[in-house]
Amino acid sequence: MRVWVPLDAAARALGADEVAEALSREFTVTRNGTRGMVWLEPLVEVERDGVRYGYGPVMPEDAASVAGAIRTGSEHPLALGPVEELPWMKAQTRLTFARVGVIDPLSVDEYEAHGGLAGLRRAISVGPEKIVDEVTESGLRGRGGAGFPTGIKWKTVAGAKAVRKYIVCNADEGDSGSFADRMLMEGDPLVLIEGMTIAGIAVGAVQGYVYIRSEYPDAIRLMQAAIVRARQAGILGQSVLGSGHAYDMEVRVGAGAYVCGEETSLLNSLEGKRGIVRAKPPIPALEGFLGRPTVVNNVISLASVPWILTHGAAEYARLGVGRSKGTIPVQLAGNVRYGGLFEVAFGMSLRQIIEEIGGGTASGRPVKAAQVGGPLGSYIPHWNFDLPFGYEELASKEGLLGHAGITVFDDTADMLKLARFAMEFCAVESCGKCTPCRIGSIRGVETIDRIAQGDETGIAILTDLCNTMKWGSLCALGGFAPFPVMSALTHFPEDFSGRREPRREAAE
Amino acid sequence: MSPDDPAMTVPAIDADFLLRLDEIIAAHKGREGPLLPILHDIQAEWGHVPEAAQPVIAEALGMTRAEVHGVVSFYHDFRDHPHGRHVLRLCRAEACQSMGAEALADEVRAALGIDWHETTPDGRLTLEPVFCLGLCACAPSAQMGDRLLGRADLAKVQKLVAEAGA
């Protein structure tokens, strides 16, 4: 009998290590990634006759009684039944995350038994041009937030002439509310390696780097271990799976700078410089890492490629809405009852996601707003929740899909404070290269403080300042910080006026 | 804390220091973009990036001292002085805010008697803010060394601190 206890950081944060230790005294425990149902973590699974039965959330103090139930097959209040049959699992279309939570993340054999490496094998057999065509036809767009078509980027790098090209994976997932990259790297690191290897073959790059933020020590450790396993299995090296294509990769660790999630800043950081944003052009596809042609893609973009190569572009493009093709790992975070990761085709409404999938707020109070797309994403008020989840669909309401993280707030949220936080965050994290971001964010904090003191003349100044930052900043940090600020101000003006009156307390 | 606690002691700039520094530099020098890996290893070794290391790195990598200093000072992770034996990090980002991170931080600061970036007088614990640990679906969150906390509250944080002997 095999028992599974997740090693995912979220499960560990809720006591999974203690649970695993207790259960390992009696059973063979395998550490898997998380299924994404974070409210059920630590989620213990037991495999019987090929079906996996769940128990959760299993706190360390429950471990003994759960062990008893596993041993005797008796009832237990935390028993959930077959995990695959849970509504949260059944309602998903798990393509990129198909193996996350299912396999031992570092087992190449299990990876392959669950469909791994089929995409790479097909990529090798069809060759570079056809790989690029396939990725282009799939409609895959940058999952890091910018939404740029992945295939077009690859075509540019493939066509560039250079002695050396690179694949750089942006795993600097700094957006609050986002944890898809972390969950994937911890739960199925081999799929990212496979995706990057396919990219390497497609564009003629022999070296890859995964730039992981230092706040993710577990993901760093697992990616490094997976790379070693992949080399041993012949997936990486001088001849990828015996194809004659050379490709290898390594992990690089960030150093606590949010702006390094911006691709040119990331490249500078990787080169060992200050993480200052570069002006574009030149684009990284032509002059990227060390001035050479470089594919810079987000974790989820690259990890989606093996599925696309295995099943074909048409199967992927069949899913989604408008120009948002395929699936998106929606991350439900913050004040939400059922928080976690839910991979689904684009097009569900925010209301369905937050209220039906997420079950409303954790506090039980009404939802006030949700910040979609990270700290630079808009606060979408609850009355606009009928928006379909897609790049253009959200943009039509001044929203941002970003990295598909949704942070839910209940009615005690003070939107002025959140707007101030967005400006303060921008001021702290600004790389300093352009004035609108570096100075504008500081003036923004000061102006919001004036408004908080009751000086409502500040509102017009703040609006004007946001406009300057939006159009005058070099990158998305200063350019998008106005989105949370202006959305808070536009939709919740009552939080910005009458500030001399006593505020309603959160503990009401 | 005892004065010989390695985490709190600024290394003597002697032959041993330079030998270890050379080892670290040599381990990464041949890599593409070696500076960040070098700085991470230095920080792991001494708990901060000693100023005396900067000219040595600059010389080895063919950079100016100003360039190396510019990199060290740019990143939040790199410290120019040692921290306490343990570092408690509390997340202050939006998802954690939506679940009361601000109130939790107030409680923790009051309980420890220190503010952000400060170290307890006995040198055991430094409190740092962090902007997202990726634990946004079990907010608020905290981290200390290898230990992570989800759905954190004051009692859980205090237990974490006590168990680490901090």
Q: Is residue A221 classed as helix, strand or coil in its secondary structure?
A: helix
Search chain A and give the residue with CA nearest B147. Answer: A13
Task: Tell me which architecture the domain covering A320-410 has in CATH.
Answer: Roll (3.10)
Give the pair of three-digit tokens for residue A428.
Answer: 């702290």
- Residue B133 in any domain: the answer is yes
- Residue B17 in any domain: the answer is yes
Share of chain B above pLDDT 90, in %: 86
State residue B10's pLDDT score: 66
Q: Which residues of A touch B101 (CB under 8 A)?
A: none
CA distance B135 to chain A (A): 6
**Three-class DSSP labels, chain B:** CCCCCHHHCCCCCCHHHHHHHHHHHHHHCCCCCCHHHHHHHHHHHHCCCCCCHHHHHHHHHCCCHHHHHHHHHHCCCCCCCCCCCEEEEEECCHHHHCCCHHHHHHHHHHHHCCCCCCECCCCCEEEEEECCCCCHHHCCCEEECCEEECCCCHHHHHHHHHHCCC
Residue B156 and residue B95 share a domain: yes
- Residue B79 in any domain: the answer is no
Residue B63 and residue B100 share a domain: no
Domain boundaries, chain A: 2-90, 108-317, 320-410, 415-495
Q: Write the CB contacts of A375 (distance below 8 Å, at least 6 apart in sequence).
A: A175, A176, A258, A422, A425, A481, A484, B93, B94
Q: Is the pLDDT of residue B23 over 60?
A: yes
N-to-C CA span, chain A: 50
Residues B96-126 pLDDT 10s: 999 999 999 999 999 999 999 999 999 999 9
Which CATH number covers residue B149?
A: 3.40.30.10
- B133–A215 CB contact, under 8 Å: yes
Residue B155 and residue B98 share a domain: yes
- A425–B131 CB contact, under 8 Å: yes
Q: Which residues of A touch B135 (CB under 8 A)?
A: 9-10, 13, 179
Question: What DSSP element (H or E) covers A371?
Answer: strand A367-372
Residue B15 and residue B66 share a domain: yes
Strand order in the sheet with B142-144: B125-130, B86-91, B142-144, B147-149
Q: Is residue A275 classed as helix, strand or coil in its secondary structure?
A: coil
* pLDDT tens digit at each of 508 positions of chain A: 899 999 999 999 999 999 999 999 999 999 999 999 999 999 999 999 999 999 999 999 999 999 999 999 999 999 999 999 999 999 999 999 999 999 999 999 999 999 999 999 999 999 999 999 999 999 999 999 889 999 999 999 999 999 999 999 999 999 999 999 999 999 999 999 999 999 999 999 999 999 999 999 999 999 999 999 999 999 999 999 999 999 999 999 999 999 999 999 999 999 999 999 999 999 999 999 999 999 999 999 999 999 999 999 999 999 999 999 999 999 999 999 999 999 999 999 999 999 999 999 999 999 999 999 999 999 999 999 999 999 999 999 888 899 999 999 999 999 999 999 999 999 999 999 999 999 999 999 999 999 999 999 999 999 999 999 999 999 999 999 999 999 999 999 999 997 766 655 544 4
CA distance B14 to chain A (A): 27
Give the pair of three-digit tokens for residue A280.
Answer: 């574009």
For B:6-25, CB contacts with A below 8 A are none
Where is the domain boundary, B74, B94, B120? B74
Q: Is the pLDDT of residue B5 over 50?
A: no
* CB-CB neighbours of A379 under 10 Å: 29
Residue B36 and residue B91 share a domain: no
Structural domain total, chain B: 2
- A215–B99 CB contact, under 8 Å: no
Q: Which residues of A touch B148 (CB under 8 A)?
A: 9, 12-13
CA B97, CA B136: separation in Å to the nearest integer?
10
State residue B4's pLDDT score: 40
Q: Write the CB contacts of A118 (distance below 8 Å, at least 6 apart in sequence).
A: A306, A309, A310
Q: Provide the residue range defining the domain that includes B57.
A: 6-74
Strand order in the sheet with A79-82: A28-30, A2-4, A44-48, A51-55, A79-82
Give the CATH fold of the A415-495 domain: de novo design (two linked rop proteins) (1.20.1440)
- DSSP string computed for A349-362: BHHIIIIIIS-S-S
Residue B12 and residue B66 share a domain: yes
Q: Which residues of B touch A175 (CB under 8 A)?
A: 132
Answer yes or no: are the C-beta atoms of A163 and A196 closer than 8 Å: no
- Residue B31 in any domain: the answer is yes
Search chain A and give the residue with CA nearest B58. Answer: A272
CA-based angle A197:A201:A202, to the nearest 5? 115
N-to-C CA span, chain B: 10
Residue among A215, A256, A407 whose CB faces B95 most closely: A407
- B136–A272 CB contact, under 8 Å: no
Residue B66 and residue B24 share a domain: yes
* CB-CB neighbours of A463 under 10 Å: 15
Percentage helix, strand, coil, to 5, in chain A? 45, 15, 40
Residue B99 and residue B70 share a domain: no
* CB-CB neighbours of A290 under 10 Å: 13
User: Does CATH place domain A2-90 in 3.30.9.10?
Assistant: no
CA A421, CA B93: separation in Å to the nearest integer?
9
Q: Which class is A108-317 in CATH?
A: alpha beta
- A407–B94 CB contact, under 8 Å: yes
Residue B94 and residue B35 share a domain: no
Residue B56 and residue B90 share a domain: no
Residue B90 and residue B156 share a domain: yes
What is the band of B164 on the pLDDT scale with cuts at 50, 70, 90? confident
Q: Do domains A320-410 and A415-495 have the same CATH topology?
A: no
- A506–B100 CB contact, under 8 Å: yes
Which residues does residue A54 pair with via DSSP β-bridges, in sequence order?
A45, A81
- DSSP string computed for A117-171: THHHHHHHHH-HHHHHHHHHHHT-B-TTTT--BHHHHHHHHHH---S--EEEEEE
Which residues does residue A17 pair with via DSSP β-bridges, in sequence order?
none
Residues B127-159 pLDDT 10s: 999 999 999 999 999 999 999 999 999 999 999
Share of chain B above pLDDT 70, in %: 93
Q: B93 CB near a chain A CB, below 8 Å?
A: yes
CA distance A85 to chain B (A): 22
- Residue B129 in any domain: the answer is yes
